[in-house]
Amino acid sequence: MRKSDLENGMVVQTESGKNYMVVGDKFIGETGFVDIEEYDEWLNLKTHPSLTGYDIMKVYAEIVALKHLNDNTKTLIWIRL
């Protein structure tokens, strides 16, 4: 999976287990957002290399609302090996 493959509504999960919904040029979470531009094409955080736990490890299919962000019913479509 590449950053360019992401679509609105998809959910990404970071190394630390936090979920974010793809909305335009942002990853929107329960407590804030991250600009997608802060990630390289391979979904690694590029702008703050000293921060750990923010690389994208999983991508889930689209959800219809932010309230489903942490539901266990999401469909996993990619996992970093």
Please write the tens of the pLDDT for every residue from 12-30: 999 999 999 999 999 999 9
Total domain count, the chain: 1
Give the range of the structural domain holding residue 65, as residue numbers without chain letter: 3-79
pLDDT surpassing 80 at residue 52: yes
| Residue closest to 37 by CA, chosen among 50, 49, 24 | 24
Long-range residue pairs from 41-49, CB within 8 A, at least 24 positions apart, any chain: 41/2, 41/3, 41/4, 42/2, 42/3, 43/1, 43/2, 43/3, 43/12, 43/80
pLDDT (average), residues 55-64: 96
Regarding pTM above 0.85, the answer is yes
Q: Are 38 and 60 in contact (CB under 8 A)?
A: no
